[in-house]
Amino acid sequence: MTLPIADRTMTELGALLRTGQLSSRELTDASLERIDRDAARLNSFLAIDADGARRAADEADAALARGEGADRPLLGIPYALKDIFVTRALDFDGNPLPGGLPTTAGSRILAGYRSPFASSAQERLEAAGAVLLGKTNCDEFAMGSSNENSAYGPVRNPWDETTVPGGSSGGSSTAVAGGQAVFALGTDTGGSIRQPASLTGTVGMKPTYGRVSRWGMIAFASSLDQCGPFARSVRDVALVLHALAGHDPRDSTSVDTPVPDYAATLTGDVTGMRLGVPHEYFVPGMEPGVETAVRAAIDTLRGLGAEIVDVSLPSTDRGLATYYIIAPAEASANLARFDGVRYGVSAAADELWENYAQTRGAGFGPEVKRRIMLGTYALSAGYYDAYYVKAQQVRTLIKAEFDEVLATVDAILAPTSPNVAFKIGAKVDDPLAMYLNDACTLPVNIAGLPGISVPCGLSEGLPVGLQVIGRAFDESSVLRVADAYERTAGFANLRPHTAHD
């Protein structure tokens, strides 16, 4: 069965574009039609620029006609940005640019906010010739695992619209799963790319901390945040990552190290690679269908000639507690800038303190307030040593355990999420149950390592993800393992029922 244009991989579509069998305008229209049909119902987009997208597609078609597609795999490909990336919407005099997209971070406090500059990620994708469709819904300031914390309402999972698409990049995962964008960007502070990829049957990657610039990405927890792609194949992810990666002098944490040609490393060959399976990642409470699918995926890689070895990461169960000190602490500092003076909405009270209180009181949602309170408490005099310093010590321990294991294996295999997509509303009243969603992804951010989620089948009709974790700056091995698996596993064409015209 051939898939509709809107649901195919970028690699396949790129070949059609370069040989003139498809134009970027036709492809962009196919994505926009799917957005028209489904986006309001699924609540996946917060802003759409259809005219701008068509204009960019026409420019891409002109470039393709000049033969410029050969070494520009993203040329003419429509994509979406999580609404945590600022997009330039004002000119140098502060006047609105036509078609300029607002940036909200999923928060009421930034309703209608227009940025005077673009994120580095957007600039790089623009230079690569990709076509921006719009901004996707997300949990407020990227805090969440289900996309139910957006001030603009929950996103629905196209696989089953009564379930969540994962979070916090749920609009991006839904857009890619549902044929509304060929690829999308998300951000991952504790799992927000990999977990929604797992829950929507897409491929999602968090690169090594420092691999991709965070310039223009609204900060949640600066020492953990990293941006990365969602796409429909590992190769597509490799191509987008290649366009994004590299040193950016505007982000002092971006690392100046060579960027390999990731797609060229996808040989399909994992013979002799040593892959570690940490038993601690098969966490208590994991759904049996998820465990079955992940274990079968590990067997598939063994069948391909990889050597599977048992490894141990004993501090895994401390990841959650460590993360929920460090991330809120950094968030409480980062979110201080939303004061009703500098950005977005202001309560316009007569007195300054009153203005802060009213703006932040009305502008932030309950989860963001919870994190600010937790973080402020953990950083306050008297508690700083007991909580924040302790968490940083455990962080060092977690990182050291990964380093030790990754000295003996080429990559680590684990579940991405202990569960498949759950019902909207099922966990909103239980923050601890919600936080448990990220038990298998958080440690990777704590250690700053690269990780990918690749579909490994269905459990009760809903997608399951296999996570591959690698050494710092060795995205190539992670991608190679995931790609080899994807080629043989037979799940590359899994699409939700919405993938029909």
Which of 168, 315, 417, 476 is an active site residue? 168
Give the C-alpha separation, 406 to 472, whole Å: 10
User: What counts of helices (H) and strands (E) characterise the chain?
Assistant: 16, 11
Q: Smallest distance from the beta carbon of 150 to ligand GLN, in angstroms?
A: 12
Give the C-alpha separation, 181 to 257, whole Å: 30
In total, the chain counts a number of residues equal to 501
- Out of 165, 190, 228, 465, name the contact with ligand GLN by CB under 6 A: 190
- Check binding of 104 to ligand GLN (CB under 6 A): no
- Identity (one letter) of the amino acid at 301? L
- Check binding of 6 to ligand GLN (CB under 6 A): no
226 or 233: CB nearest ligand GLN: 226
Binding residues among 327-386 for ligand GLN as defined by CB under 6 A = 327
Q: Smallest distance from the beta carbon of 225 to ligand GLN, in angstroms?
A: 7
- Check binding of 47 to ligand GLN (CB under 6 A): no
- One symbol per residue from 217 to 236: x for binding ligand GLN (CB under 6 A), - otherwise; what is it? ---x----------------
How far apart are the two ends of the chain, measured CA to CA in Å? 13
Q: Which region, judged by CB under 6 A, interacts with ligand GLN, from 143-151, 251-259, 344-352, 454-462?
A: 143-151
What residues does 311 pair with on adjacent strands? 278
Give the C-alpha separation, 47 to 150, whole Å: 14
Close Cβ partners of 475 (under 8 Å, ≥ 6 residues apart): 205, 207, 208, 211, 241, 245, 260, 262, 450
- Out of 188, 280, 330, 475, name the contact with ligand GLN by CB under 6 A: 188
Q: Smallest distance from the beta carbon of 441 to ligand GLN, in angstroms?
A: 7
323 or 356: CB nearest ligand GLN: 323
Give the C-alpha separation, 451 to 40, whole Å: 31
Q: Residue 258 gets which letter from DSSP?
A: -
Give the C-alpha separation, 362 to 384, whole Å: 28
Which of 23, 115, 169, 192 is an active site residue? 192
Q: Smallest distance from the beta carbon of 226 to ligand GLN, in angstroms?
A: 9
Q: Which region, judged by CB under 6 A, interacts with ligand GLN, from 142-150, 286-294, 350-358, 473-481?
A: 142-150
453 has catalytic annotation: no
Prior bond to 476 cis, omega within 30? no
Determine which helix (DSSP H) or strand (DSSP E) holds 106, and give its type and residue range: none
Name the H helices within 106-169. Answer: 120-127
Q: For the chain, what is the radius of gyration of the CA atoms?
A: 21
DSSP line for 2-37: PPPGGGS-HHHHHHHHHTTSS-HHHHHHHHHHHIII
Q: What angle do CA 276, 282, 287 make, to 5 degrees?
A: 140
82 has catalytic annotation: yes
- One symbol per residue from 414 to 453: x for binding ligand GLN (CB under 6 A), - otherwise; what is it? ------------------------x---------------
Q: Smallest distance from the beta carbon of 424 to ligand GLN, in angstroms?
A: 16
Q: Smallest distance from the beta carbon of 372 to ligand GLN, in angstroms?
A: 13
135 has catalytic annotation: no
Task: Give the total of residues touching ligand GLN (CB under 6 A).
Answer: 14
Q: Which region, judged by CB under 6 A, interacts with ligand GLN, from 65-73, 182-190, 209-217, 268-276?
A: 182-190
73 or 186: CB nearest ligand GLN: 186
Give the C-alpha separation, 75 to 64, whole Å: 8
Would the CA dihedral through 468, 474, 480, 483 be positive or negative? positive
Q: Which region, judged by CB under 6 A, interacts with ligand GLN, from 30-38, 136-144, 449-457, 479-487?
A: 136-144
Q: Which region, judged by CB under 6 A, interacts with ligand GLN, from 183-191, 229-237, 335-343, 402-410?
A: 183-191
- Check binding of 168 to ligand GLN (CB under 6 A): yes
Determine which helix (DSSP H) or strand (DSSP E) holds 247, and give its type and residue range: none
Residues that bind ligand GLN (CB under 6 A): 142-145, 168, 187-192, 220, 327, 438
Query: Known catalytic residues?
Result: 82, 168, 192
